[in-house]
Amino acid sequence: MRDCEVIKHSEEEDLTMAKKTAAKTKTAAKKTAAKPAAKAALTPWEIVQIARHAERPNISDYIELMCEDFVELHGDRLFGDDRGMIGGFATIGGEKVMLIGHRKGRGVEENIEANFGMASPEGYRKAKRLMTLAAKYKLPVVSLVDTPGAYPGSEAEARGQAEAIAHNLEFMSTLKTPIVVVVTGEGGSGGALGIAVGDRILMLQNAVYSVISPEGCASILWRDGTKASLAAEALKITAESLKGLGVIDAIIPEPKGGAHTDKKLAVEAVKKAIVSEIVALKKIGLTELVDARYAKFAAMGRFA
């Protein structure tokens, strides 16, 4: 009889425990169902569209919102003044720098004047001239990259487009002053790289940086430009992918929806990152700085 009571008591405990477990499971299921599903990450092709957004901050916005002062310098002293590349003395967060960058315009007229951000040889030679001044006056160089690529026209080729870019790569690799590069929108091919050899390479969260545009890549690989989204995925052109590959050093966060949704917030994030890097780089000896920069770019493409 006693054994029967013990068994009965044990069964009652098991039943109570089962009911409690079922109730907890039900509650947990309700909580899980109440939570909104996590938003899927943007695809590389979607990021390309954000990087190209017409209202995305351009170098004019950065000068206005980021610099305490700016004195533009003109001309390459060889041919003319390329409006697709601008630069000059500036002060950013109390740090005196030489600011250079690709210029995209607002509207049709400005874009035509700036050649839609595609610099010609005189633009790259102007950038080199300004960087020479920076080293002379011991000023860090800040380079803002935002271009679909260098201008591919026959007149640019006739004036030495390839030579101008190649010369800049060689020159910047040993320039004896700190260089901070920020890819703010499109970082297209040699047109971007012509002013993008630096000690620190930063990218905005929704910027892209690639040897070729997704459309150009799709046209070569599949003879079909409509497959640009597939090419964007394969090229690994996003900030996250390039950070993983060691091509860039850091990613600057953007406001929700992209930098164009809150220009002031986006520019402030860029300013903060630039000033932080300049302060750190100025503590490094020039010989050590140049050696590390050269080694950094020489090692790219070598994987264990």
For 222-268, the pLDDT digits (tens) are 999 889 999 999 999 999 999 999 899 999 999 999 999 999 999 99
Per-residue model confidence (pLDDT) at position 33: 47
Do residues 199 and 220 lie in contact, with contact meaning Cβ atoms separated by under 8 Å? Answer: no
Q: Residue 69's beta-bridge partner residues?
A: 91
Who's near 195: CB < 8 A, 6+ residues apart? 85, 100, 101, 102, 124, 127, 143, 145, 168, 172, 181
Question: Tokens for 268?
Answer: 């402030």
Per-residue model confidence (pLDDT) at position 288: 96
Taking phi first (over 0 means left), then psi (-120 to 50 degrees means alpha), and beta for anything else, what does residue 220 get? Answer: alpha
Please state the domain extents for the chain: 49-298
Do residues 252 and 269 lie in contact, with contact meaning Cβ atoms separated by under 8 Å? Answer: yes
49-298 has which CATH code? 3.90.226.10
Q: What does the chain come to in residues? A: 304
pLDDT tens string 264-288: 999 999 999 999 999 999 999 999 9
Low-confidence ranges of the chain (pLDDT < 70): 1-40, 303-304
DSSP state of 148: S
Dmax of the chain from CA atoms?
Answer: 111
Who's near 84: CB < 8 A, 6+ residues apart? 102, 103, 114, 115, 116, 117, 118, 119, 120, 123, 147, 151
pTM of the model: 0.84
